[in-house]
Structure 1
Amino acid sequence: MRTNITSATQFCKSFFDTILVFCVWISVVVFLSSVASADLIKLKNGGEVRGKLLRTTSGSAETRVIQTLSGGSITIDSQNIEFITNRPLSIEEYESRSKEIEDTVEAHLRLADWCLKNHLSSQRLEQMEKIIQLDPDHAKARAALGYSKRDGEWMTRDEVMRKNGYIKYKGRYVSSAELELLEKNQAELEAERKWIKKVKLWLIWLNGNDLLQQQEGLKNFQEVSDPHAVAALARLMGKHKHIAIRSLLVATLDQIPGNKPLRPLAELVLTDPIQTIRNSALEVLTKRDATGAIAFFIEGLKNKSNIIVKRAGQGLESIGDRSVVPDLISALTTSHTYRVRVPDTTSTYSYNTNGTFGGSGVVLPPDIEAGLLAGRYPNGVIVLPSQQPKVQMRTVSVKHLHQNEAVLLALQKITQQNFGYNERLWRLWWASTQNQTGLVPVIQ
């Protein structure tokens, strides 16, 4: 009997010890969670208050009481609050550190290492971007950003693969021919091949001199409604040298139901050199459910050409929804590199603070400067000197940060908000809207 009582006593003691440890653990977790994050209150006058939201009181006007990070408390009229969001304290510390450091490679590298220790991946990449702006050949920063050196030029893996003709499909790179096979079954491929012969023949008729054949070919295009015809139409007409043929493509795709016309229509909006064709293709998209085309425009926001980025913004303004807001925020400002041929001097070439391009003692022609600033030369330009024709030339890379008005207009239309080109404020506001829906975003 005594043994049983002793065993029961030991069991109870062990049980209560376990409960005590569990309670202590819960208290620690609650404490850590309370100090690991903070509320950020964005005021309509542009100010910010950081702390913990304590309570809401009702009187003549609703107010918010915030305990600041220093331990005091502030009462704010809700009418003065733009939005409230929650984010980790490590982000607050990062912002303070980033404002105080010197603009040197060493300082940014130290802050990047601090970000790595504090699991701030996007902030670390931000510092690496600043490093390569100061030192374009900094190997560690380039490696962190996913660059490798190919033929003397720093390129990301995506850029290398795209240059070699590969496309990213479900996390891996495939050729365009392989992509077509992956996305379609054998029956679809057979049905599409039958259309290639028809479309080729009709195009021959349209480009011939026989008026009756021209009319017959046009009539045939006007009657197409089979989705299996889309691949042949896009392949044979999408890059046709005659504007009239590409316009006919838009009209023909407009007749075809389903999602298959979405890709060629989006490609026309993004890449066709004629604005009227781009506008017509976008108008066709807006008349139907174009949700499936949104992905093509999101990809366009990441394009190396600023012209494509702006067109993607215009497209999303017309067919985008709130799901594209984070992608638009990331594309508010985009950096683009231009390769240009210039006289080989000791001068360095870059975009100057006054918006001009050139180096000490060397100035590019005004029309070339304007074209580079507008992004009209995605493949670079060759600038020949006006004097001394026998001068050695060299190719240099110049980088320019573009503010994309088309992207900002798309954001304003979709969100009915306007924080200008301030990406940080856009992200804070977007996080606050996700908090309201019950989600818990990680703001970085």
Structure 2
Amino acid sequence: MGRGTLGVGLWVVLSALVASARADLIVLKGGGSVQGKVVADAAAKKDGRVIVVLPKGKTPLTLRKDQILEVLAKPGPLDEYATMREKLAATAQAEFDLGAWCKAHELPDLAEVHFEAALKRDPNFADAHLKLGHVEHDGRWLTPDEQRRARGMVLHKGKWVMEDEKAKDDEQAQNTAGFASWVRRIKVLVQGVRAEAPDRRRDAEDQLLQLRDPEAVGPLVKVLGDQDADLRILLAQTLAEIPGEPAARALVDMILREAEDPVRAVVLDRLRSRDEPIVPSRLVRALRSSDVRVINRAAWALGNLDVFSSVPRLLDVLVTSEERVVLFPTNGGGGAYPGTGNPPLIAYNGSSAAYMTGPVVGPGAVAYGAFVVPNTIGLDPYNDGAPLSVGDGMGNPGTLGGFGYNAGAGVGADRGPQPGLVTFTSQNVEVRAALNRLTGQDFEYDVPRWRNWVARSFNPRPDPGRRAPQP
């Protein structure tokens, strides 16, 4: 049989296979074969190609006709799949049903293809989300990768690890020769930026801004991160030009630790152009910080970056509390409450007493607190918490100060400032501002009212073309 006759016969066989939906073993010219299913595709046929659905893998294989030497029928589960696929209705339920069939017939990759197709037709198709391992959280479905990020994991060298583990690995990498070489190079450029000659300064700045290697991120932060504001702004501008997650992470970390507003504004402007998922996820994670300054900076960034999905997390930190041990003056030492030197008593249970403290104003927060001390000095709850009169054991009366002893058995005259446990409750100003911006609402610091409104009215995925109304 001549080669031309073989070619004609081959394509007769191919056409018959497509029509009858039979599984194929496709032998390729030059050696090798592909096991799959030739399926009908008008566009491919028009271009002289065929589409082969594989039993493993989500992407079909496209072959030119002249690549194929021989096609052999080999029945398998793809036979029925090809028939069902050709008759598939254009609905989410039909895609889901075919995906479930693929799953049951040990075609897991094709099952994912159809579960994902179901979600394209109906993003709220819960059964398809569950089949793909998605978990619903705060009104949105999280993919497995998003779930790992929410647990504080990051993708590092091809595997998911906790961020602490990655940080430790990065720290070890800083000791490598490559890291040290970058540090030396950047220090030389910084010297150029600080030079008096304008030409040298411009040349050094240009060289920094032209850096694109992700390996330079760590050395840049090490050298420039603690410099003056102008150099920190240059650091933000340089990081913004470097692609990838390391640079995005470094920019987020800058905004969380930066104390000066002008520098934070530059960092925020550079973050607007980043589309790495780590940017919003890292800012949301920062809301769990024990430092109200970090919480407020993260909230400020989330609001200005229009991260609407962060609203439920922001509600968790609209009002925060933390306990601190602080020193208070003894009786007569003055303090926050003139006249007595002591704060007012607000609670007493016989074994300990609680006192109100004055307001404390910090960046983005106003805090009020109370502290508790053991009743080891004989407070009189019926006399506004005044100390009881006691003897020194030798017939001499004495008076105990509110925070220290003036006299008493075996006790010195004045012990100086005394420690107390203070609970600071912070109304986080930047968190409220972020909520205002993202929702168009303002319930001040009334967390229950906020939660009620969010449960009833908030859309965490607004139409991209629309913005929430501004207050």
TM-score normalised by L of structure 1 = 0.46
Higher helix fraction (1 or 2): 1
TM-score, normalisation: structure 2: 0.43
Question: Higher relative contact order by CA 8 Å / sep ≥ 6: 1 or 2?
Answer: 1
Which has the greater radius of gyration?
Answer: 2
